[in-house]
Amino acid sequence: MTDRRLLLVHAHPDDESIGTGATMAKYVAEGAHVTLVTCTLGEEGEIIPGDLAHLAADRHDALGPYRVGELAAACQALGVDDHRFLGGQGRWRDSGMMGAASNDRPGAFWQADLDEAAGELVKIIREVRPQVLVTYDENGFYGHPDHIQAHRVSRRACELAADPGHGTGEPWRIAKFYHTAQAKSVMHRSTEALRDSDVRFITENVDDLGFGCPDEVITTEIDARAWIGNKMEAMRAHATQIMVDAPWFALSNNIGQEVLGVEHYVLAAGVPGAPVPGPPVESGGLGEPHTRENDLFAGIH
């Protein structure tokens, strides 16, 4: 297949690098057009470096513009040159964690009118005409309101973009719609390896982390280990949010996780491609039986 076009919809700067960075770098390197849409500036993020604490929402409230620069550096590391903020930079604000007062703040993405936000994404879909769209599942991967909203907006935008009666521009139908995923077996293996290391990050019970999915749910396994260096460079660019101590990283909670070069997805809509052998368990794959795609574009002609 030629002229492959991939669209990823993420909630905040850094989400793209942590969950899909290696995949993005791989497809860029292979000649696909990769478009990243970020829904907020991440204004409510917890800041790790002490010398930047003044940027916080409850102080100077200047973290959002700072993270725009971090995101630009991360995109450069991944080779992504088509990045947009949904509705324009700062159109919707980071809502903060579920239950926070910032959820109700005017302009918060959690409060966005669904069709209005989806309409902004429809404009991008009809312009770029991607065959594949990647975003989070119905729970936003781990329950963050902006991640949940990104899922809702993406699903609605796919419906509207394919509707000839909606808006302007040529209708476009997304062929495959994916959710990001993290396999529980990989999380368990990584946590055990972290416990045996001398890294400064802490470990927690995998089942207490609030994310991850059973291996049997995974439909797609992208082996992008050759681009893990790009992913780490992109993650380091998000220095307000991420600490990287290769091959590990942690957010402000200091809970260690592995920087993964094999990234997993769940095909939520569209026809799956043929399953093929994946990378071995010790390399981050899920192992036998091999019943997964190894290409987000598999089966698209």
pTM of this structure: 0.96
40 burial via Cβ count (<10 Å: 0-12, 13-18, 19+):
buried
Percentage of the chain lying above the pLDDT 70 cut: 98
- Per-domain residue ranges of the chain: 5-283
Contacts of 186 (CB under 8 A, 6+ apart): 258, 260, 262, 264, 284, 286
Which residue has 């000649």 as its token pair?
Answer: 31
Side-chain-facing half-sphere of 192: CA atoms under 13 Å: 6
**The pLDDT of residue 301 is above 90:** no
More reliable by pLDDT, 58 or 210: 58
Residue 204 confidence (pLDDT): 86
Which residue has 């994404």 as its token pair?
Answer: 121
68-109 tens-digit pLDDT = 999 999 999 999 999 999 999 999 999 999 999 999 999 999
- Alpha-carbon Rg for the chain, nearest whole angstrom, is 18
- The DSSP output letter for 276 is B
Instruction: Tell me phi and psi for residue 270, to 5 degrees.
Output: 115, 170
Helix 15-29 / helix 228-237 crossing angle, nearest 10 deg: 140
182-191 tens-digit pLDDT = 999 999 999 9
Architecture of domain 5-283: 3-Layer(aba) Sandwich (3.40)
Residue 206 confidence (pLDDT): 83
Instruction: Tell me phi and psi for residue 235, to 5 degrees.
Output: -65, -40
Tokens describing residue 136: 């989070």
Instruction: Tell me the pLDDT band of 276, cut-offs 50, 70 and 90.
Output: confident
- The DSSP output letter for 3 is S
Strands 82-85 and 243-245: unpaired
Helix 228-237 / helix 63-78 crossing angle, nearest 10 deg: 160
The overall average pLDDT reported for the chain is 95
Asked whether the bond before 247 is cis by omega within 30 degrees of 0, the reply is: yes
Residue 300 confidence (pLDDT): 95
Residue 146 confidence (pLDDT): 98
206-215 tens-digit pLDDT = 888 888 999 9
Instruction: Tell me the pLDDT band of 290, cut-offs 50, 70 and 90.
Output: low
Strands 82-85 and 33-38: parallel
Tokens describing residue 170: 């040529």
Least confident of 36-40, 119-123, 139-143, 246-250: 139-143
Residue 211 confidence (pLDDT): 86
Instruction: Tell me the pLDDT band of 285, cut-offs 50, 70 and 90.
Output: confident
The residues that bridge with 135 in the sheet, in sequence order, are: 179
Percentage of the chain lying above the pLDDT 90 cut: 85
Instruction: Tell me the pLDDT band of 1, cut-offs 50, 70 and 90.
Output: low
Tokens describing residue 61: 């409230």
**The pLDDT of residue 165 is above 70:** yes
Tokens describing residue 116: 């209005």
